[in-house]
Amino acid sequence: MSETAQTQPYDEFLFNATSHLLKPLSEILASCDELSKNADENLDGMQKQLSRSISGNGHRMLDLLNDIRDYAEIQTGRILIEKSPTDMTILIKGVLDVAVWLTKNKPQISIQHDIPTSLPELSVQEMRIQQVLINLIHNAVKFTDAGVIKISVALNDHEIIFQVKDSGIGIAPEKFGLIFAPFQTALADTVDARAGLGLGLPICKYIVKAHHGQIGFESMEGVGSTFSFSLPLEQTQGTA
């Protein structure tokens, strides 16, 4: 039996299972957040801590399920990249707002950015490009306890380049080959909560490649990492 034939039922199961789990989990989290918000004044310290723990772990589970579903969509050919003209200046502004929110529990991290005041309109799938940027920023936050995360955008004659640079733990050279491999982690401790499922970056790579772009990274252990991806400016004309 071929590898494709062997893995397809598994991928179908992943897609169906996560699709069924995401809706009730989303509803549970919405109810939990609403309850916590409305009852906050009446909760004691322990109850507030438990509420935050439920919400935090629930949202982490939501992120994991979304990654599994995206990966299953890719493997089963369900994922669609539907491009439309997108104002990249507005897209980046929204991403920067999310970056600030992601660091709310890490006050030792400073968010910096170097963004041109005006960016071209590109024909992309806005939600997916946001997903790539937010994933890269989220990873930077996870692996940085203190220091700077810098988000940059640059233009040349052929492409627009997005970059997320952190001053976190960095990546050991022998782990470089695992970075874009599914279900792999560059952490020595695989039970570290930051390890995740190892699907975020492979999904990012797929999305960037589907937009005819390139993605890569540079890293030095103990110093930090820089992840960047580019999109061709030819997409300003709406080419697929």
Closest C-alpha to 115, from 167, 151, 165: 151
Query: Of 15, 45, 75, which marks where a domain is finished?
Result: 75
Does 94 lie in the same domain as 184?
Answer: yes
CATH number at residue 172: 3.30.565.10
Does 155 lie in the same domain as 53?
Answer: no
Does 88 lie in the same domain as 71?
Answer: no
H helix runs in 103-180, sequence order? 126-142
State the residue range of the domain holding 121: 84-237
What are the C-alpha distances in Å from 80 to residues 26, 124, 158, 209? Answer: 23, 12, 25, 13
- pLDDT of res. 192: 56
- pLDDT of res. 21: 82
- pLDDT of res. 5: 44
Does 165 lie in the same domain as 134?
Answer: yes
Does 95 lie in the same domain as 22?
Answer: no
- pLDDT of res. 183: 81
What percentage of the chain reaches a pLDDT higher than 70? 85
Query: Of 75, 110, 126, which marks where a domain is finished?
Result: 75
- pLDDT of res. 90: 94
- 67: tokens are 């990654």
The domain total for the chain is 2
What span, in angstroms and rounded, lies between the C-alpha atoms of 18 and 80?
18
Query: Of 22, 44, 75, which marks where a domain is finished?
Result: 75
- pLDDT of res. 202: 93
What are the C-alpha distances in Å from 90 to residues 49, 94, 113, 130, 235? Answer: 36, 6, 15, 11, 17
Q: What is the pLDDT of residues 13-47, one digit of tens each?
A: 777 787 778 888 888 888 877 776 765 566 667 77
- pLDDT of res. 207: 96
- pLDDT of res. 189: 54
Does 143 lie in the same domain as 214?
Answer: yes
Do 57 and 97 meet the contact criterion of CB atoms below 8 Å apart? no
- pLDDT of res. 60: 76
Question: Averaged in consecutive runs of 10 residues, what is the pLDDT profile of the chain (240 residues)?
Answer: 52 77 84 70 70 76 84 83 93 94 91 93 95 95 94 94 96 91 70 69 95 96 96 63
